[in-house]
Amino acid sequence: MKEATLLKIALVCSLIGLIILYFVSSKIDLKDYKPSQLNENVGDDVKLIGTITKISQNEGVAFLEIDYAIPITVVLFTKNENISLNVDDSIEIIGEVQEYQGKNEIIAQKIRVIR
């Protein structure tokens, strides 16, 4: 085959693949966190929207207490950087539910401030 033909086939396959990925990714959605399902969510990726009631920061780790149906602890690894979050900020958190000392907490992967 000629190089031009192979290039056209490669471009068409790439475009078709990108279109398929777009439609598949739009169907993926995270579960909303439900604290009433105590240990059922451990290990799941969840989405949570709430208000920060308390922030405490240690070396490389920030602990956020979120006002939801019940207070929820969110752990954010900061790599010794200061975070730009404040008490009473409304935030959306995407993270993984983990159990620590008998309580569920969310290990944050992504945090977005909602105004």
pLDDT tens-digit profile of 68-87? 777 888 898 887 677 788 88
Provide mean pLDDT across the span 6-18.
95
Pairing mode, if any, of strands 45-58 and 61-67?
antiparallel
Considering the chain, what is the average pLDDT of its residues? 82
Q: What is the pLDDT of residue 32?
A: 65
Q: What is the pLDDT of residue 38?
A: 44
pTM of the model: 0.62
CA pair distance 8, 55, nearest whole angstrom? 55
Q: Does domain 31-114 have CATH number 2.40.50.140?
A: yes
Taking phi over 0 as left and psi of -120 to 50 as alpha, with beta for the rest, 79 belongs to left
